[in-house]
A and B are shown apart, each in its own frame.
Chain A
Amino acid sequence: MESVFKKLSLTSATLILLLLTSIFVVLFIYAKPAIDEFGLKFLTDPRWGVTVQVDTPKVDKQVATTEQVTDEMAQNDNLQTEDLLLDDSSDNSDSLLTDDEDGSTANTKEVYGGFVPIVGTVLSTILAMLFAVPIAMGIAVFLSEIAHPLLAKPVGVAIELLAAIPSIIYGMWGLFYFGPLVSKYVGGQSVSLLVAGLVLGVMIIPFMASLTRDSMNTTPAVLKESAYAMGATKFEVIKDVIFPYAKQGIIGSIILALGRALGETMAVAFVIGGVFTFPKVVTDPTVSIPVVLANSFAESSGMSMSALFYLAVVLFVLSFAVISFAKFYFLRNKNEIFNK
């Protein structure tokens, strides 16, 4: 029995590692054509799906607007011009032209760069964290230390319910109600980086608040009582006893929320605007990596598909880096508190 149990738990543990590596490997394999094509320049290139001339400029046929041609001739002309637009690549076997979904032809090629979505992802996450962390901390402190238990209970349940709302609902709320409200009072458009950041913030508040409250609740009463006995005020107890004690849990909750904010797709897709431009001000629309993936995946193939996988790899690495940095940096003195 013991050994079966041991093996089972070992399997579960290895499974997660296996899953993680295989996801990465698969992403990498599918991204390979784009990585070979664009290299690291992908990370700093702001152009996405832009057609550029390779060598000889494409000869443009004029659209027939003259009406004196006979029906038959007009028809022929239509077909010719259609050929120019429709025969992207399907009739070619050139290796450059494997993508029949995009406008690559013999003389042009599509360039993909991920700089705009990368910046958009980072900015919207930062905005969300700036907005959410103080509010979530406030909620947690209030619930665990200040509120009367009769109030703390229903509010706590309400927060957990908030966490269970599907993200598409937040997206709809942001698109139809919250976005227009923000644009009315702050200016700019009803979809923007700011709206995306705020909606994301609202989405991650419940996670942070309930996890932080739980870890604050684990502070031994004896510690708090000793502090009060020494004459500490409520604020001092919260600042000097509870926060240091619950530090790990709080940082853990922030990291979890950060991970969610980085990868949130559906809600952001509706409120960020989805345009491949850098936001000059916070109320401009832009785009983030998960949104690009959600918007383009179903209709992509060949190089455009591969570029999407490249973006996915970037997001994977980005989340991994941010989270490991946060873990390493904030949690390195793991045992300090207990030693105190």
Chain B
Amino acid sequence: MKKIIAGLSLAAVSSFAWTINGTGSSFQLPVNKAWISGFYSQTGNQVNYTGTGSGTGLKEIKARHVDFGGSDKPLSPSDLKNHHLAQFPTVIGGITMAYNVPGVNKLKLSEAALSGIALGTIVYWDNPVLKASNPGVNLPHKKIFFVHRSDKSGTTYNFTYYLSKMSSVWRSHFGAKKALTWPTDLQGRGSAGKGNFGVSAQIKKNSYSIGYVDYADAVANKLSLASVEGRDHKFIDPTPAEFAKGAAYAGLKPARDFYGMVAYPKHGYPIIAATFDLVHYDNKKVAKRVTEFFNYGFKHDEGASKLGYIPLPASVKAQIRAYWAKKGISPAK
């Protein structure tokens, strides 16, 4: 009620408060929410965003049912052109390898170990490949239990995208997908959870399990997180600072509507992903409101980092603002 009254009084002052609606990627829902409440209290303008999934986000924005759509998977430039859409990244997130092995609290995963676990070729925790990068750690002779997402998700897409870039075997057999039958499932060593918290719960409850979880959820559930071998062959802890280091190398280029993935950068933590938003550039009035909202978000990095996201590097933000200007959808303020 208080909020409404505040909104009304603000609306009376500025006299042109507006509302925009968006839907899509649930990965960006928490950060959008944080920005929405800040944006509202500053401008009195209302932004609604629902986390219905990237697929729905793309469908809804293409059908012009919403003012902007969120997606973890970018659209190709030609597809964007066909639908009169502009696209830009908003934040970057990290995906962690969470594990539950009693007695082990500092696990290092080399590229060979990680791809072997995902491909199902490494069956036991005391496999020589794992032992090689974890000297002195008492790895048990127990089967590795691999937990993945059961629902179609951007997280699975981003993780398998990373695997595809890192391992050519994975690429030729599986590629990047939102959902798949994992090789470990077929060996009876796999299980799946619904949503990030479903995966987290299963890792927590089942010893000798490992799985991929969004950083924010992994931290919230106090899971043990493995160090992962980066492209520069260093073992890197999954921390926001390391995600940011990786994000700095992300090849997001405005010339191709930022069409590209940030996973597997040259340095820094390798399993990172960007999330994108799309808007119709031929509806300038609405598009400018959308960019005004995200411009507010870009100026308020703390809202994103508090939730475990990595704000975009300043250079990328500048490129996005230039891209908006080129499309004629620069925010009014």
A→B interface (CB under 8 Å): 47-51, 58, 60, 62-63, 65, 67, 74-75, 78-79, 81-82, 85-87, 90-91, 100-103, 175-176, 179-180, 183, 189-191, 269-270, 273-277, 280, 284-285, 287, 291, 294-296, 298-301
B152 contacts which of A176, A287, A296 (Cβ < 8 Å)?
Answer: A296
Number of B positions contacting A (CB below 8 A): 55
B165: interface (CB < 8 Å)? yes
Closest CB in chain A relative to B209 CB, distance in Å: 8
Residue among B150, B166, B190 facing the most chain A CB atoms (10 A cut-off): B150
Is B179's CB under 8 angstroms from A82's CB? no
Q: Bound state CA distance, A115 and B190, in angstroms?
A: 19
Alpha-carbon distance between A48 and B174 when the two chains are bound, in angstroms: 13
Verify if B206 is at the interface (C-beta below 8 Å from A).
yes
Residues of A contacting B54 with CB < 8 Å? 299
A75-B251, A85-B161, A274-B193 given; A284·B188 CB < 8 A: yes
B279 CB–A CB distance under 8 Å: no
Complex Cα distance, B151 from A73, in Å, reads 37
A118 to B78 Cα, complex, angstroms: 40
State A180–B100 Cα separation when bound (angstroms): 14
Given the interface pairs A79-B260, A85-B164, A275-B150, the reply to whether A180 lies near B55 with Cβ below 8 Å is no
Q: What are 30 pairs between A and B in contact, CB < 8 Å? A: A49-B181, A51-B175, A65-B231, A75-B253, A79-B256, A85-B171, A90-B79, A91-B79, A101-B152, A103-B175, A103-B176, A175-B198, A176-B201, A183-B206, A189-B145, A190-B205, A269-B150, A269-B194, A270-B198, A275-B185, A276-B181, A277-B188, A285-B190, A287-B150, A291-B150, A294-B151, A295-B152, A298-B53, A298-B151, A300-B152
Contact of B151 among A82, A102, A176, A295 (CB under 8 A): A295
Question: Is the pair B188, A280 in contact by a Cβ cutoff of 8 Å?
Answer: yes
Q: Is the CB of A47 within 8 A of B181?
A: yes
User: For B79, what are the chain A residues with a Cβ–Cβ distance below 8 Å?
Assistant: 90-91, 100
| Interfacial chain B residues near A301, Cβ < 8 Å | 55, 59
| Dominant SS among interface residues on chain B | loop
Provide the B175-205 mask, 1 if CB < 8 A to any CB of A, else 0: 1111111100110101111100010011001
Contacts of A189 in B (CB 8 A): 145, 191, 202, 206
Q: A81 vs B151: C-alpha distance in the bound complex, in angstroms?
A: 26
Q: Is the beta-carbon distance between A60 and B76 smaller than 8 angstroms?
A: no
Query: What is the chain B residue whose CB lies nearest that of A279?
Result: B188
